[in-house]
Amino acid sequence: MGICDTCGNDYDRTFTVRRGEETGTFDSFECAVSAMAPVCGHCGCRVLGHGVEAAGVVYCCASCARRSADADLSDRA
Q: What is the pLDDT of residues 20-44, one digit of tens each?
A: 999 999 999 999 999 999 999 999 9
Q: Residue 52 burial by CB count (10 A; 0-12/13-18/19+): exposed, middle or buried?
A: buried
User: Residue 77 — pLDDT band, cuts 50, 70, 90?
Assistant: low
What is the share, in percent, of the chain residues with pLDDT greater than 70? 95
Is 17 a residue whose pLDDT tops 80?
A: yes
What is the share, in percent, of the chain residues with pLDDT greater than 90? 66
User: Whose CA is closest to 46, among 23, 64, 70, 28?
Assistant: 64
Cα radius of gyration (the chain):
15
Q: pTM here?
A: 0.76
